């Protein structure tokens, strides 16, 4: 998604990438988001149970923690369908205006890097990803 910023992990190991992105491995992805309208009370519970999108797709349960003004917060997923967070928020009556991936597989975004900068994963981070992929 070209509108999303934040953590991105690049690899040339297609099978491991597939395994990490597959919902069956339950790899968490956490996002910070902002939206144009406050999310209604009860949205956290809807996300936790499983929200159904406009096309009928039923999302796996997700953890939503709203900011006090309910115009943003954090969402943790174990799947990553096409524009899923934007579609989940839209199903709740709002529109995402900002989306940032802040962790993948419990590896946090390195805040010491400026936007567009990169670094290699540490050996520990590589081992963590391979373990989560079942390698």
What is the distance between the alpha carbons of residues 98 and 10, in angstroms, rounded to a whole number? 22
* Residue among 1, 3, 36, 69 flagged as catalytic: 1
Give Cα 25 distance to the centre of its chain: 15
Are 66 and 45 within 8 A, CB to CB?
A: no
State the CB neighbour count (10 A cutoff) for residue 54.
Answer: 8
Residues 6 or more apart in contact with residue 58 via CB below 8 angstroms: 50, 51, 52
What is the distance between the alpha carbons of residues 125 and 78, in angstroms, rounded to a whole number? 18
Q: Is 1 part of the annotated catalytic residue set?
A: yes
Three-class secondary structure of residue 92 per DSSP: coil
**Active site members:** 1
């Amino acid at each position: 998604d070209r509108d999303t910023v934040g953590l991105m992990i690049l690899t040339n190991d297609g099978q491991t990438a597939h395994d990490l992105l597959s919902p069956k491995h339950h790899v968490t992805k956490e996002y910070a988001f902002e939206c144009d309208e406050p999310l209604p009370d009860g949205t956290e519970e809807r996300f936790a149970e499983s929200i159904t999108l406009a096309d009928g797709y039923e999302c796996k349960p997700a953890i939503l923690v709203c900011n006090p003004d309910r115009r943003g917060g954090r969402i943790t997923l174990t799947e990553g369908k096409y524009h899923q967070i934007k579609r989940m928020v839209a199903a709740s009556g709002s529109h995402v205006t900002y989306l940032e991936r802040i962790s993948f597989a419990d590896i946090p975004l390195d805040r010491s890097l400026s936007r567009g900068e990169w670094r290699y994963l540490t050996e520990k981070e590589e081992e963590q990803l391979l373990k989560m992929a079942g390698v």
